[in-house]
Chains A and B, each alone.
Chain A
């Protein structure tokens, strides 16, 4: 496989970033996934996914101002990159075409 492909979990994380706007940090990302999917995702898994996405240049991040309710620690703000958007589109396309006209076949199973 010449290009990187996205795992399902990575897709969820990327989508959450897109949904939340341009600059988002860890806490709302986890919440967004939880609320939308109804799944209890592990926070550690999300952070590891973010790390991988960044190493594949699908997202970038920068450090933001520290706030007191975080014990004076800075946030890390994530933003999706064009490559990420493209990969998301590809994944969607792939899935959609796989799903096309599949209902009758599913019924028979």
Chain B
């Protein structure tokens, strides 16, 4: 039952250290007595009260002592007491002056709170996701190892026998493992359900250095066929499905119609990176050294470097091993290299560009805010020149005056920082809730001590940034002139500095606006997606046949065909097709292919799909040449393929692809048709070459049904599910999605990016407009007299307004030019986030500049117009 630590620390700051022990002792004694009597809450409150009273009283006492000291030693030399007492005095002075200017404080603190709050919030996201280490044991030693080939660019995959060979031959790694997703069908008393699981080698968990909560992890013996029906539960599954049963080890589960025995439970804090959502794990169901698996590059490989090895050593060692394997197994490994990616990079790399753009954006917002406050301070210090001159005349040194003014800035910044921190806590929560899925490590995002430190640092930096120039300006006085002229003395340099501030504000705001404009354009392009087929009234569903139930792929195909026909017969369904994947649904399977009678050069790459006879007609993809598939393209019929127009154009320019033979994924097929391209959602991305072949000729255990309905496709979900279940109760049915839903999912991320950047840009625009307004209002105030004379002499009102606006717009124009140049350079950072729009899109740049100029014009017009309404006599009398 110790007193609150922070409060004790605060007391410690105020009280000299030699007196601290007994005072804190006394306080703790009383605290304990109070806590025993009235409860700890009351005692804590009391202690905090004491902290406040003690710090105020003791600091005041210290100041008093120093004053006494000074008055005693006066004459012995001045200016030596600029220590703590001086600072306390400065702060007190600053708070007093600030209290007298509540409007200024409100404007400043609000601006800073927004700027610092946004920065702190985004920093805490960036810190948790990009900067802090992964929550694993010695995560720096974990590396993803990817087999590389042009056909799988962008993927990080490996095959089991290759990883086994790496493991044998490498010295830089102490453990290697592979894993991949493996959906299971879990049968319980309540029925069957699909469950997401994974298969892994023992080395995978060794590399992660997990230690089981219960039981054990996989061992080498668990890979033996016959002994491999064992399962590891994740902690969450163990708790939610089995109520955290301590006797779970040895219990059995029915997975895919086989009996599996639970051998262990993963610890609660064990997050398998990039596979966090898997509910259970089984060992690989085959020997990872089986030679025929060498081309099955469908696994994620993970390695742990030894303490001694560096990443570079590992890289060169692995590339040697890879080329050795390539010559040893040319069939499967020719042309395959290897790439090592630190696990942290692999997990967060995709989020980096977006987060850095956000961080840059809020940085710009804060800079604009600082420019605004600098402006305010300049205006204030101009009003206070006389006061400062008097102080200087009475003997205050320039350092002393700068310190006084910086004290104000500091206080303002700290207030703004504190308010910003509160905003940030709220904003981070909002970010986590609203952020699209797919941002890694989002659950780890939180405001912590580092973030606190960041906020403090930013506040300090901001105070110097916006405070120093005005303070230096204000204290570079010509005493004589100041005392004589008073307020009118504000020189031309001030206006110069103000102009520069406006230039920078406008330039920064413009860069942000261009960014937001580009994202908006890109988003609009996504909304206007015309894929080349009819998007309306389409429903997709994923079917997975239980592998224990059907002997051969042909039987599964037969079952899928029955399901297709049964669903097509339902009321409200127009037609049904099947496919392994398609636009916006299913995975992406890419491979090199070979064109018969051509051998020269690197083999081209294509995406491939297997589809049923009704697929093209159901989706509405036109067959441009030749034919689509029919039920006649069965198992015993000659192998056929259909390609898309892009493939035809790319690989058979000026030739007829019909009748040509292609070989892909080990299958040699004759091209019988060409279908129209499906235009990609992300406009501007190249259309891949695509090869389709009939599902019946290469049966698999899973397929998508693509269903064209007459009315709202969402209404068909129930009847489709019921009909398929009726045919096969063990069939796993999941992933019902209408094309609209699939589309909406694609839009989440771009919309989030766009909205967030638009918010920052709007903040920047408002701040810049306020800044311009402030400067023009200040100029107008200084020129009221002159304008009064001009008006009195018969000048036209609009001419006077025009001259004010022209003067105000000059720095705006300069800012626009600079900002456009800056945006040209910076918008490239957005390249990964925009589609169908060039990062230097001229209409966007011009439109944004025009918008900014009109806002700036209004900001100039308002004060100008107000000034010309002043009665000439009043204006003339004004001093």
Are B24 and A71 closer than 8 Å at their CB atoms? yes
Are B25 and A73 closer than 8 Å at their CB atoms? yes
In whole angstroms, what is the CA distance A66 to B58 when docked?
24
Interface flags for B833-849 (1: CB within 8 Å of A; 0: not) read 00000000000000000
Tell me the minimal C-beta distance from A75 to chain B in angstroms: 6
Interface flags for B42-71 (1: CB within 8 Å of A; 0: not) read 000000001001101110010000000000
Any chain A CB within 8 A of the CB of B101? no
Are A73 and B50 closer than 8 Å at their CB atoms? no
* Given A42-B53, A43-B50; A75-B2 close (CB under 8 Å): no
Are B32 and A26 closer than 8 Å at their CB atoms? no
Any chain B CB within 8 A of the CB of A27? yes
Chain B residues lying within 8 Å of A47, measured Cβ to Cβ, are 19, 23, 54
Are A74 and B32 closer than 8 Å at their CB atoms? no
In whole angstroms, what is the CA distance A65 to B209 when docked?
50
The 8 Å CB contact of B2, one of A44, A51, A71, A74, is: A71
Closest to B29 in A: A70
Are B50 and A63 closer than 8 Å at their CB atoms? no
Are A42 and B29 closer than 8 Å at their CB atoms? no
In whole angstroms, what is the CA distance A66 to B53 when docked?
25
Chain B residues lying within 8 Å of A48, measured Cβ to Cβ, are 57-58, 61
Closest to A26 in B: B26
Any chain B CB within 8 A of the CB of A83? no
Chain B residues lying within 8 Å of A45, measured Cβ to Cβ, are 57
In whole angstroms, what is the CA distance A82 to B481 when docked?
62
Interface flags for A21-53 (1: CB within 8 Å of B; 0: not) read 000011100000000000000111101100100
Chain B residues lying within 8 Å of A66, measured Cβ to Cβ, are 25
* Given A44-B50, A51-B19, A75-B22; A27-B58 close (CB under 8 Å): no
Tell me the minimal C-beta distance from A8 to chain B in angstroms: 17
Are A44 and B58 closer than 8 Å at their CB atoms? yes
Are A44 and B54 closer than 8 Å at their CB atoms? yes
Tell me the minimal C-beta distance from A25 to chain B in angstroms: 7
In whole angstroms, what is the CA distance A25 to B26 when docked?
8
Any chain A CB within 8 A of the CB of B30? yes
Chain B residues lying within 8 Å of A26, measured Cβ to Cβ, are 22-23, 26
Closest to B56 in A: A44
The 8 Å CB contact of B28, one of A25, A71, A76, is: A71
Are B53 and A69 closer than 8 Å at their CB atoms? no
Are B57 and A44 closer than 8 Å at their CB atoms? yes
Chain A residues lying within 8 Å of B25, measured Cβ to Cβ, are 66, 70-71, 73-75
Interface residues on B, range: 20 to 34
Closest to B23 in A: A47
Interface flags for A52-75 (1: CB within 8 Å of B; 0: not) read 000000000001001101110111
Tell me the minimal C-beta distance from B99 to chain A in angstroms: 24
Tell me the minimal C-beta distance from B683 to chain A in angstroms: 68
Closest to B14 in A: A44
Chain A residues lying within 8 Å of B56, measured Cβ to Cβ, are 44
Tell me the minimal C-beta distance from A24 to chain B in angstroms: 12
* Given A51-B19, A69-B32, A71-B2; A44-B24 close (CB under 8 Å): no
In this complex, the member of B23, B26, B50 whose beta carbon has the largest number of chain A beta carbons within 10 angstroms is B26
In whole angstroms, what is the CA distance A74 to B25 when docked?
7
Tell me the minimal C-beta distance from B213 to chain A in angstroms: 38
In whole angstroms, what is the CA distance A7 to B26 when docked?
24
Interface residues on A, range: 20 to 34
Any chain A CB within 8 A of the CB of B596? no
In whole angstroms, what is the CA distance A74 to B18 when docked?
12
The 8 Å CB contact of A73, one of B22, B54, B58, B61, is: B22
The 8 Å CB contact of A25, one of B3, B22, B53, B58, is: B22
Chain A residues lying within 8 Å of B24, measured Cβ to Cβ, are 71, 73
Chain A residues lying within 8 Å of B53, measured Cβ to Cβ, are 42-44
In whole angstroms, what is the CA distance A47 to B24 when docked?
11
Any chain A CB within 8 A of the CB of B21? yes
Interface flags for A6-28 (1: CB within 8 Å of B; 0: not) read 00000000000000000001110
Chain B residues lying within 8 Å of A73, measured Cβ to Cβ, are 21-22, 24-25, 28
The 8 Å CB contact of B29, one of A51, A69, A76, is: A69
Closest to A47 in B: B23
Tell me the minimal C-beta distance from B370 to chain A in angstroms: 38
In whole angstroms, what is the CA distance A67 to B25 when docked?
9
Chain B residues lying within 8 Å of A76, measured Cβ to Cβ, are 22
Are A27 and B30 closer than 8 Å at their CB atoms? yes
Are B61 and A27 closer than 8 Å at their CB atoms? no
Are A42 and B21 closer than 8 Å at their CB atoms? no
Chain A residues lying within 8 Å of B27, measured Cβ to Cβ, are 43
In whole angstroms, what is the CA distance A70 to B31 when docked?
9
In whole angstroms, what is the CA distance A76 to B29 when docked?
13
Chain A residues lying within 8 Å of B50, measured Cβ to Cβ, are 43-44
Chain A residues lying within 8 Å of B23, measured Cβ to Cβ, are 26, 47
Closest to B31 in A: A71
Tell me the minimal C-beta distance from B108 to chain A in angstroms: 33
Chain B residues lying within 8 Å of A74, measured Cβ to Cβ, are 21-22, 25
In whole angstroms, what is the CA distance A47 to B15 when docked?
11
Are A27 and B29 closer than 8 Å at their CB atoms? yes
In whole angstroms, what is the CA distance A50 to B26 when docked?
14
Tell me the minimal C-beta distance from B32 to chain A in angstroms: 6
Are B22 and A42 closer than 8 Å at their CB atoms? no
Interface flags for B792-821 (1: CB within 8 Å of A; 0: not) read 000000000000000000000000000000
Chain B residues lying within 8 Å of A71, measured Cβ to Cβ, are 2-3, 24-25, 28
In whole angstroms, what is the CA distance A25 to B58 when docked?
19
Tell me the minimal C-beta distance from A58 to chain B in angstroms: 17
Tell me the minimal C-beta distance from A23 to chain B in angstroms: 13
Are B26 and A42 closer than 8 Å at their CB atoms? no
B48-97, CB < 8 A from A:
50, 53-54, 56-58, 61
In this complex, the member of A27, A44, A63, A73 whose beta carbon has the largest number of chain B beta carbons within 10 angstroms is A44
Chain A residues lying within 8 Å of B22, measured Cβ to Cβ, are 25-26, 63, 73-76
In whole angstroms, what is the CA distance A42 to B58 when docked?
12
In whole angstroms, what is the CA distance A75 to B29 when docked?
10
In whole angstroms, what is the CA distance A74 to B249 when docked?
56
In whole angstroms, what is the CA distance A51 to B50 when docked?
18
In whole angstroms, what is the CA distance A43 to B29 when docked?
13
In this complex, the member of B3, B28, B56 whose beta carbon has the largest number of chain A beta carbons within 10 angstroms is B28
Chain B residues lying within 8 Å of A27, measured Cβ to Cβ, are 26, 29-30
B4-22, CB < 8 A from A:
19, 21-22
In whole angstroms, what is the CA distance A70 to B30 when docked?
9
Chain B residues lying within 8 Å of A69, measured Cβ to Cβ, are 28-29, 32
Chain B residues lying within 8 Å of A51, measured Cβ to Cβ, are 19, 61
Chain A residues lying within 8 Å of B21, measured Cβ to Cβ, are 63, 73-74
The 8 Å CB contact of A70, one of B19, B26, B54, B61, is: B26
Top 4 nearest A-B pairs by Cβ distance? A73-B25, A76-B22, A70-B25, A44-B57
Not counting A25-B22, A44-B54, a sample of 16 additional A-B residue pairs whose C-beta atoms are within 8 angstroms of each other reads A26-B23, A26-B26, A27-B29, A42-B53, A43-B54, A44-B57, A51-B61, A66-B25, A67-B29, A69-B28, A70-B29, A71-B28, A73-B24, A74-B21, A74-B25, A75-B22
Interface residues of A (CB under 8 A from B): 25-27, 42-45, 47-48, 51, 63, 66-67, 69-71, 73-76
Q: List 16 A-B contacts (CB under 8 A).
A: A26-B23, A26-B26, A43-B26, A43-B27, A43-B50, A44-B50, A44-B54, A45-B57, A47-B23, A48-B57, A48-B58, A66-B25, A69-B29, A70-B29, A71-B2, A73-B25
Interface residues of B (CB under 8 A from A): 2-3, 19, 21-30, 32, 50, 53-54, 56-58, 61
